[in-house]
Amino acid sequence: MQKIAIENGRIIDPANQTDSIGSLYIAEGHIISVNETPGDFTPDIVIDAQNQIVCPGFIDMSTRLRQPGQSHKATIKSETRAAASGGVTTLVLQADTKPAADTPAIVELIKDLADKADYPNIVTIGALTQKLEGQELSPMLALKQAGCIAVGNAGKPVSNLLILRRAMEYAASHDLLLIYRPHEHSLGNKGCAHEGAIATRYGLPGIPYTAETIALAQCLELAEQTGCRVHFGQISCKRSLIKIQQAKKYGLDVSADIAVHQLHLTENDMEPFDSAYHVLPPLRSDQDKQALREALSEGVITVLCSDHQPHDLDAKLGAFPETEPGMASIETLLSLMLKLVNDKTISLSQGIAALTCNPAGILRLPSGSLSVGMIADICVFDAHMSWTIDSTTWKSKGLNTPFWGSTLSGRVTHTLQSGKIIYSLN
Amino acid sequence: MTENLQLNSDGKLKHFLTIEGLDKALLTEILDTAESFAGMSEQQVKKVPLLRGKTIVNLFFENSTRTRTTFELAAIRLSADVINMNIATSATSKGESLLDTIRNLEAMFVDMFVVRHATSGAAHFIAQHTAPHVSVINAGDGQHSHPTQAMLDMFTIRQIKKEFAPLRVAIIGDILHSRVARSQILALNTLGAAEIRVIAPKTLLPAHVETLGVNVFHNLTEGLKDIDVVIMLRLQKERMTSALLPSESEYFKCFGLTPSKLKIAKPDAIVMHPGPINRGVEIDTRVADGPQSVILQQVSNGIAVRMAVMSMAMQARGNG
């Protein structure tokens, strides 16, 4: 394997509370030294990271790659290239592949596809219930043995609370983390937009905040009862944050993430009937956005994810309620995080932690830091370089982003996965 | 975006999708144009050659009798050629097929689509994707908008009450699911009505309805005080099965317009209903057929208003 030196960059490694100019030395896929040049080290490649930031590669806690099952939308090959260009070195895949990731065979298939795409770091969340139908438990131990780092509902309902309880008890027995997107479907009532003034004006079926908070509250109660570790995905409402904060104070082992677009967009940004803004959970109110920002800044929420959901053109071509929800967002993850730093919502170190060591800690992954001996998953980026989202820069097969045509700042220049350069700009 | 999409570069009405974004002058122009067509129906020759040689397709993805018929009559009286298409849609039908339908009809050199669809935003979507020479008139999209209905209601109100400024208007019933109510509220606010009230139980009101510029009442007796115009909305039977209401009889007891309830409003108040009416559910027969009812006048006015909108849109479409 190649020896690589990344020189003169600003190394930000929140896990080790490092923020200083220095160099990294990589050999055999691992970080062998920070700052001190190893004695007999002759690099094959030198990356000049002057005026750039060097940090652990990003761990994206919620993605859909559309394979297996929907390769007309995107493929593991196309989306891992998009991920690499966004500095993401570990992809956490939601269980709602087609078929759902409820058997070791599907998990193995995903691993094979990942290897073929030269992007081995795809970790799959196993389905909590068979076919994600909320009826019967999935073979969680077998899924864990096949490599699943957690089990989850992928936003699908587990409407029978007895089954949710049993699933959580069973997951806890095998020390499996539950990744749960709280959504009470009966209250969601086929809605497609936040139940608020905008939905009322445009006659769009609304999703009330209680669809999230009630499902969250139920799951929190069961977490306490069952001892199951829970990570809540894509929190969108102010009142959910209060509940999470209380639970943490109470000593429950819970954590949560926010899809980064929720920190920038609200119902008011929705162009009338523009399906690019159709996401689930829906874009909420200004108040919710402010509360989410505060929660991130105060550490109630510690993880940012892209909630990447690439779509084919037809999926987004129609009257708003009939289009499929989701945004292709992995390539905007870094820029939207940096925007929070520029807004002074969070520090740069906090933002990087939310994409690296914090998810690594929750998922117990051996990555997310730049300690000597760690696997060399690294992102080098220029925080001030601006770029325009268009067909010359975009890698994802999904063009469904409301930021299309916008100019954002923050561009990845190099991405290393296990010591291998998987992306370099130009 | 909605605003610009509807207007051509000269600010003329090219598509008619929603009342939103249209100013008082434009709404008044629609009413005045309708006025010029209003007398025509009673004449021996009920036709003008304004749209001769033009092809209009009534594209109804949702059932309708009244709206479709008045659109058809309006087109005929403008001398256009009209084709009616009733396209039953399944719940799974996608925008893809909607777009394909539109593209196919466009290829047959259609000049105007009159569209009704069960999904909010459908007319908007069609207007965005249709060829530049085609006009789109929204004949009702989901719970969003039904602008010609609102304008024919405004026309009827103006006929009788002359001015909007002093009027207090009450809209009663299922506001939540009503595209008619949304359009009426926008039109009444733009035309400067003194007060708009919505009267309904909470289950039939959308979230933050007050942001539309209305006062909210849950009690009919309180809400009808000092009212000049009473607009009743149709109550659909499925509201009972979806747990929005306990029963038709309880609804009628609370919100049904009876002669005694109507007495609470001003003595010269008029009663309107976009139809079709459910007698004994939202309105007492004695009120529906009573002297204060203008329900049938609304239907007649529908033709003139639709003629106005169609002729205006057809004129504007040439100018980009």
Give me the residue spans of the domains in chain A: 4-53+375-424, 54-363
Whether B294 and B151 map to the same domain: the answer is yes
Sequence-separated (6 or more) residues with CB below 8 Å from residue B282: B172, B173, B232, B233, B234, B235, B251, B252, B255, B256, B257, B273
Nearest Cα of chain A lies from the Cα of B192 at a distance, in angstroms, of: 19
- 3-class secondary structure, A29: coil
Residue A40 has pLDDT above 90, yes or no: no
Whether B312 and B190 map to the same domain: the answer is no
Whole-number Å distance between alpha carbons of B268 and A23: 86
Contact A338, A58 (CB under 8 A): no
* Per-residue pLDDT at B88: 67
pLDDT (tens digit, 9 = 90+) per residue, A221-245?
A: 999 999 999 999 999 999 999 999 9
User: Which positions in chain A touch B1 (Cβ < 8 Å)?
Assistant: 271-272, 274
* CATH code of the domain covering residue B221: 3.40.50.1370
DSSP letter for each residue of A312-339: -GGGG-SSGGGSPP-B--GGGHHHHHHH
Whether B84 and B159 map to the same domain: the answer is no
β-pairing verdict for B112-117 and B55-60: parallel
Worst-scoring range by mean pLDDT, A60-64, A94-98, B273-277? B273-277
pLDDT category at B96 given cuts 50, 70, 90 is low
The architecture that CATH gives domain A4-53+375-424 is Roll (2.30)
pLDDT (tens digit, 9 = 90+) per residue, B183-213?
A: 999 999 999 999 999 999 999 999 999 999 9
pLDDT (tens digit, 9 = 90+) per residue, B261-317?
A: 999 999 999 999 998 899 999 999 999 999 999 999 999 999 999 999 999 999 987
Compare CB distances from A203 to B1, B99, B143 and report the shortest one's residue.
B143
Sheet containing B195-199, strands listed edge to edge, beginning at the edge strand earlier in sequence = B215-217, B195-199, B168-172, B229-232, B270-272
Burial A117-150 (b: 16+ CB within 10 A, else e): bebebbbbbbbbbeebebeebbebbebbebebbb
Q: Is the omega angle on the peptide bond into residue A325 within 30 degrees of 0, that is, cis? A: no
Whole-number Å distance between alpha carbons of B152 and B275: 13
Worst-scoring range by mean pLDDT, A305-309, B104-108, B283-287? B104-108
β-pairing verdict for B112-117 and B135-141: parallel
Residue B61 has pLDDT above 80, yes or no: yes
Worst-scoring range by mean pLDDT, A47-56, B202-211, B243-252? B243-252
Whole-number Å distance between alpha carbons of B310 and B8: 15
Span B80-100, average pLDDT? 71
Q: Do A203 and B1 touch (CB under 8 A)?
A: no
pLDDT category at B87 given cuts 50, 70, 90 is confident
Whole-number Å distance between alpha carbons of B173 and B229: 14
pLDDT category at B92 given cuts 50, 70, 90 is very low
Whether B44 and B122 map to the same domain: the answer is yes
pLDDT category at B241 given cuts 50, 70, 90 is confident
Whether B158 and B75 map to the same domain: the answer is no
Whole-number Å distance between alpha carbons of B216 and B171: 10
Count up the domains in chain B and report the number. 2
Contact A121, A75 (CB under 8 A): no
> Within an 8 Å CB–CB cutoff, is residue A321 touching chain B?
yes
Nearest CA in chain B to A203: B144
* Per-residue pLDDT at B85: 84
Nearest CA in chain A to B140: A203
Task: Output the six-digit token pair for A76.
Answer: 């593991």
Whole-number Å distance between alpha carbons of A296 and B21: 38
Contact A60, A90 (CB under 8 A): yes
Whole-number Å distance between alpha carbons of A188 and A190: 6
The chain-wide mean pLDDT, for chain B, equals: 91
Which bin fits B159, alpha (ψ -120 to 50), beta or left (φ > 0)?
A: alpha
Span A6-32, average pLDDT? 97
Q: Provide the domain limits for residue B142.
A: 2-146+301-319
* Per-residue pLDDT at B287: 97
pLDDT (tens digit, 9 = 90+) per residue, A387-420?
A: 999 999 999 999 999 999 999 999 999 999 999 9
pLDDT (tens digit, 9 = 90+) per residue, B113-137?
A: 999 999 999 999 999 999 889 999 9
Residue B90 has pLDDT above 50, yes or no: no
* Per-residue pLDDT at B95: 53
Span A296-303, average pLDDT? 98
For A245-249, which contacts have Cβ atoms below 8 Å and span 24 or more sequence positions? A245/A295, A245/A300, A247/A220, A247/A223, A248/A300
- Of B274, B268, B192, nearest in space to B236 by CA: B274
pLDDT category at B1 given cuts 50, 70, 90 is very low
Task: Output the six-digit token pair for A189.
Answer: 């009532």
Residue B2 has pLDDT above 70, yes or no: no
Q: Do A196 and B207 touch (CB under 8 A)?
A: yes
Whether B294 and B311 map to the same domain: the answer is no
**Counting every residue, how long is chain A?**
426
pLDDT (tens digit, 9 = 90+) per residue, A135-179?
A: 999 999 999 999 999 999 999 999 999 999 999 999 999 999 999
- What share of chain B has pLDDT > 70, as a percent? 95
Span A300-315, average pLDDT? 97
Residue B91 has pLDDT above 80, yes or no: no
* Per-residue pLDDT at B243: 83
User: Which positions in chain B touch A201 (Cβ < 8 Å)?
Assistant: 20, 182, 211-212
Contact A169, A198 (CB under 8 A): no
User: Which positions in chain B touch A270 (Cβ < 8 Å)?
Assistant: none
User: Which positions in chain B touch A319 (Cβ < 8 Å)?
Assistant: 95, 98, 117, 119-122, 124-125, 141-142
Whether B224 and B277 map to the same domain: the answer is yes
Residue B319 has pLDDT above 60, yes or no: no
Q: How many interface pairs between A and B have CB atoms less than 8 angstroms apart?
A: 86
Residue B43 has pLDDT above 90, yes or no: no
ipTM of the complex in this document: 0.91
* Per-residue pLDDT at B223: 98
Whether B192 and B115 map to the same domain: the answer is no
Alpha helix (H) ranges present in A24-160?
76-85, 104-116, 140-145
Contact A233, A61 (CB under 8 A): yes
Whole-number Å distance between alpha carbons of A91 and A62: 7
Whether B184 and B49 map to the same domain: the answer is no
Task: Output the six-digit token pair for A360.
Answer: 């690594």
Place of tokens 């975006």: B1
β-pairing verdict for A4-13 and A18-27: antiparallel
Cα A332-A333-A339 angle, rounded to 5 deg: 85
Compare CB distances from B120 to A196, A203, A271 and report the shortest one's residue.
A203
For B128-131, which contacts have Cβ atoms below 8 Å and span 24 or more sequence positions? B128/B5, B129/B99, B129/B102, B130/B102, B130/B106, B131/B106
pLDDT category at A426 given cuts 50, 70, 90 is confident
DSSP letter for each residue of B227-267: -SEEEE-PPPTHHHHTTS-S-HHHHHHHH-B-HHHHTTS-T
Whole-number Å distance between alpha carbons of A353 and A14: 6
The dihedral built from the CA positions of residue B112, B118, B122 and B124, taken in this order, carries a sign that is positive
Contact B272, B231 (CB under 8 A): yes
Whether B66 and B122 map to the same domain: the answer is yes
User: Which positions in chain A touch B211 (Cβ < 8 Å)?
Assistant: 197, 200-201
Whether B103 and B59 map to the same domain: the answer is yes
Rg (CA), chain A: 21
Whole-number Å distance between alpha carbons of A205 and A199: 7
* Per-residue pLDDT at B212: 97
- What share of chain B has pLDDT > 90, as a percent? 77
Whether B141 and B111 map to the same domain: the answer is yes
Place of tokens 């799959």: A124
Span B226-236, average pLDDT? 95
- Of A400, A405, A409, nearest in space to A82 by CA: A400
Which bin fits A418, alpha (ψ -120 to 50), beta or left (φ > 0)?
A: left
Span A356-371, average pLDDT? 97
Compare CB distances from B212 to A201, A272, A318 and report the shortest one's residue.
A201
Return the CATH number of A54-363, one of 3.20.20.140, 3.10.20.340, 3.40.50.970, 3.30.930.10. 3.20.20.140
Task: Output the six-digit token pair for A267.
Answer: 């119902």
Contact A112, A79 (CB under 8 A): no
- Of B138, B247, B120, B256, nearest in space to B176 by CA: B120
- Of A294, A348, A306, A382, nearest in space to A9 by CA: A382
Residue B12 burial by Cβ neighbours in a 10 Å radius (0-12, 13-18, 19+): middle
Task: Output the six-digit token pair for B80.
Answer: 């256009």
* Per-residue pLDDT at B162: 97
β-partners of residue A53 are A10, A381
